[in-house]
Structure 1
Amino acid sequence: MRLVATGLLVLMAAIFLAARQFDHLHPAIGYIRAFSEAAMVGGLADWFAVTALFRHPLHLPIPHTAIIPRNKDRIAGTLAAFLRDNFLIPRVVARRMQRVDVARAVGRWLADPGAGRGRLRAGIGRLAADMLEALDQERLGGMAKRALAERLRGLEIAPLLGRALETAMKENRHRPLLDGIVHWAAKILDANEDMIRQMVHERSGSVMRWTGLDETLANKIIAGLAKLIGDMAEDAGHPLRTKADEGLAQLAHDLQHDPDKRARVEAFKNELLDNPALGDWWLGVWESGRAALLRLARDPDRVLSGELGGALRQLGETLQGDARLAETINRFVRRAAVGAASDYGDGIVRLVSDTIRGWDAQTITGRLENAVGRDLQYIRINGTLVGGLVGVAIHTADAVL
């Protein structure tokens, strides 16, 4: 565009020189001369204005030129203030996020991943894969493990467990757990009948063994345990089930209100976090997750065509059809965005400001000129053409008057 604008200026100069030579041949040539002459003035004026933004025209230290390099620190502060006042204030972020439906947008993409194919999707996949491969996995996994451990250490989990158990009992959601324990006890009894018989036999006297009463006793014990377990499985109001409910209710209360119980839970939690085996397990989970993300980034079509793809498509349809779920997710995203703006907005502003201040004059000139230079060259072209039209208008007025 710079070549086009400069070429148009040179063309106007050539037309002016030619019109000046043949001005006497016809009155219309005077209009051409006036157009080209004024066009040169307009083009040169706009060239000076555009050039003065970034450098000294013709390398002459004319006052009020090279505006951007001389004022880069002020530009940095102004741009940082613009970002802060228009994008990174929590209330501005909240207002803008009100119009963003993240849940349904994600749902549409998950329901039809093929719609996201193209250069952008491939580029994002390559970028994600390169980042995952470039990161120090052992160091990154250790950082994530430490961050998770610190988060858990600062969180008292006993009251949370107590409230969760209390809520589950109010809604009878603990019943499947008790049913599972009863069925598990029945299987354990069936699998260990021989061990029970052996224990009764070893603890019986010689008379009982000689008369076979030990076998009878063992059968009675096994039958009694089996009947007890069967009754508990069939009767939801069985006294032992009631006792279990009472015990769970007391546990839920103690987890929330008993200092000794809460202290024991916290001590157990800290011991668990200090256990090296837990750290090794977490690193294994982290590496498995990283490997899955790498597979997804390298070949998303293959990954999304399997069971994972079906689950993601189902999730996408749910996000589009379930208004309450979508609103919950959007509310969470809005709160996360507002929280990020509140926590990191000033840091982002300082980053922008300090980065621009750290650039030298040539760097900031080159980057801004590359960003808006095409439009500035259009200004030169428009100035050349508008100047020519003004010259024709002035020449016409002069001829008429």
Structure 2
Amino acid sequence: MKHRSVTRPVGEPAPAALVRMRVVATGLLVAMVILFLVSRALVDIDPARGTAWSFVRAFAEAAMVGGLADWFAITALFRHPLGIPIPHTAIVPRNKDRIGDTLAQFLRDNFLIPSVVGRRMRRLDVAGAAGRWLADPKGGSGRVRRGGSRLVAEMLQAFDPERLGGMVKAAVGARIRANEASPILGQLLKAAIAENRHAPLLDGAIRWAARTLGQNEHLIRAMVHQRAGSILRWTGLDETVSDKLIDGLDKLLNEMAVDPTHPLRLKAEEGLDRLAWDLQYDPEVRARIEALKAELVDNPAVQRWLDGLWEQARAGLLRVARDPEAAMAGKLGDMLRQLGETLQTDRRLGVTINRFVRRTVVGIAADYGDGIVQLVSETVRSWDARTITRRLENAVGRDLQYIRVNGTLVGGLVGLIIHAVDLALA
């Protein structure tokens, strides 16, 4: 399978800490070279003190070997040493795709197995942590907060928006299809009727019917005129019939609006109650609702709406990740802080949220673990080799330069020990 190459900026400057440690490690190696040359010359010039200087020369010589060996090993991770294509060098750029596959498989085996996810999630108090952060977002480590925000923003930008959006849309669509809508609608309607919350709906329907009647009187008059006989039209009685019909309908609607016990209104309420029962228990009604739901989900307009919904959510997440302080400002910030306090004080709510989060994450791992792994693998494959090399080197290069320093010093100490043993056995 061919993967589209994504060109990323390769001119990212190395972190200052990495530059400093590289200068220190290289400077120490140069110092060992100079010390070796000086000590070697002094051993030849002053034979009387040759034994003392021989220890210095042994230390410097072994330190040079250790420093050069570690320099070669570290450089070989990211590029060919001195530009020479020595076998088994430039390991990271040559094995970029394999590294991506290994990273994805590690993620799959250690983080996306449902049993592992469930076990780890049981130890996490997500509600409590979210509550503490929402109640006091400026508390704790600002460095961690900024780093986490930057990481989230980079992840959202790094993943293919179309593929990730497709996964989100598929997940939402699968969740909608998995939940039967008819019983839920029936329960909602039944609860609304029990608490008389359906009354505003009936009032609105009656007012709408009255307005529609007033705006379409001419249609009623035209219909009566067309259906009336020639005698009625000749005598003008068709107009009288139209007036009586319109007045009667208007009076009926006004009576229904002001009288909650009007027979037709009671009939409408009875029909709503029957509809609530049918939505919950009638197989034919439930099947029709499910068919309608499937048509709606598969409708191209709904699919475009889901795409737009994901893009808006992604843009909102990016804004919050880039500027987390702005998300906590104004009325939204007050609401979020109140939510945070509630999450900390309401134990039952916290348990419910933790259970919901755990089940959701486990479900995502079970349903979309393979897709996430493939997404990570293909994303790493699409990156430019020089870019991923530079970023990895910038991330861990400072510690690798410490290895060079340690290799130089440890090599020197080993050289001293070997030289001392050699003299003792001579």
Structure 2 letter corresponding to 1:22: L
- Matches for 1:42-191 after TM superposition, within 5 Å: 42-115=66-139, 120=145, 124=149, 157-164=181-188, 168=191, 174-175=194-195, 177=197
Q: Deviations over 1:299-329 (max 9, x none)?
A: 9878856655444333222211222211111
Give the aligned CA root-mean-square deviation in angstroms: 5.6
Identical pairs, percent: 62
Using a 3 Å threshold, how does the CA distance of structure 1 residues 88 and 310 change in structure 2: closer, same or farther?
same
Structure 2 letter corresponding to 1:376: L
Structure 2 letter corresponding to 1:319: L
1:68 Cα deviation (Å)? 3.3
Asked if the contact 2:58–2:412 (Cα under 8 Å) also holds between the matched residues in 1, the reply is: yes
- Matches for 1:200-219 after TM superposition, within 5 Å: none
- Alignment partners' CA distance in 2, 1:304 and 1:11: 54
Please name the residue that 1:137 is paired with. Answer: none
Please name the residue that 2:29 is paired with. Answer: 9
1:330 Cα deviation (Å)? 1.2
Using a 3 Å threshold, how does the CA distance of structure 1 residues 249 and 116 change in structure 2: closer, same or farther?
farther
Relative to the length of structure 1, the TM-score reads 0.62
Please name the residue that 1:201 is paired with. Answer: none
Using a 3 Å threshold, how does the CA distance of structure 1 residues 147 and 391 change in structure 2: closer, same or farther?
closer
- Alignment partners' CA distance in 2, 1:65 and 1:99: 43
Asked if residue 379 in structure 1 is aligned to residue 400 in structure 2, the reply is no
Please name the residue that 1:388 is paired with. Answer: 412
- Alignment partners' CA distance in 1, 2:387 and 2:82: 20
Please name the residue that 2:41 is paired with. Answer: 21
1:33 Cα deviation (Å)? 1.5
Relative to the length of structure 2, the TM-score reads 0.59
Asked if the contact 2:55–2:416 (Cα under 8 Å) also holds between the matched residues in 1, the reply is: yes
- Alignment partners' CA distance in 1, 2:326 and 2:389: 46
SS of the residue corresponding to residue 384 of structure 1 reads helix
Structure 2 letter corresponding to 1:57: P
Structure 2 letter corresponding to 1:15: L
1:319 to 343, 347, 350: 343
Using a 3 Å threshold, how does the CA distance of structure 1 residues 122 and 307 change in structure 2: closer, same or farther?
farther
Please name the residue that 1:330 is paired with. Answer: 354
1:385 Cα deviation (Å)? 0.6
1:357 Cα deviation (Å)? 3.7
Q: Deviations over 1:151-201 (max 9, x none)?
A: 8788653322334456x49xxx924649999xx9xxx9xxxxxxxxxxxxx
- Alignment partners' CA distance in 2, 1:32 and 1:165: 91
1:39 Cα deviation (Å)? 0.9
1:123 Cα deviation (Å)? 9.6
- Alignment partners' CA distance in 2, 1:272 and 1:356: 36
1:30 to 54, 71, 89: 54
- Alignment partners' CA distance in 1, 2:170 and 2:372: 25
1:258 Cα deviation (Å)? 3.0
Please name the residue that 2:217 is paired with. Answer: none
1:388 Cα deviation (Å)? 0.8
- Alignment partners' CA distance in 1, 2:147 and 2:414: 52
Structure 2 letter corresponding to 1:84: R
Q: Deviations over 1:19-54 (max 9, x none)?
A: 122222524222212211111121122222222333
Using a 3 Å threshold, how does the CA distance of structure 1 residues 153 and 330 change in structure 2: closer, same or farther?
closer
SS of the residue corresponding to residue 421 of structure 2 reads helix
- Alignment partners' CA distance in 2, 1:124 and 1:70: 31
Asked if the contact 2:149–2:324 (Cα under 8 Å) also holds between the matched residues in 1, the reply is: no
- Alignment partners' CA distance in 2, 1:385 and 1:161: 74
Asked if the contact 2:186–2:276 (Cα under 8 Å) also holds between the matched residues in 1, the reply is: yes
- Alignment partners' CA distance in 2, 1:63 and 1:122: 38
Asked if the contact 2:78–2:92 (Cα under 8 Å) also holds between the matched residues in 1, the reply is: yes
Asked if residue 365 in structure 1 is aligned to residue 385 in structure 2, the reply is no
Asked if residue 339 in structure 1 is aligned to residue 363 in structure 2, the reply is yes
Larger Rg: 1
Q: Deviations over 1:57-86 (max 9, x none)?
A: 334444433333443343333222212111
Please name the residue that 2:372 is paired with. Answer: 348
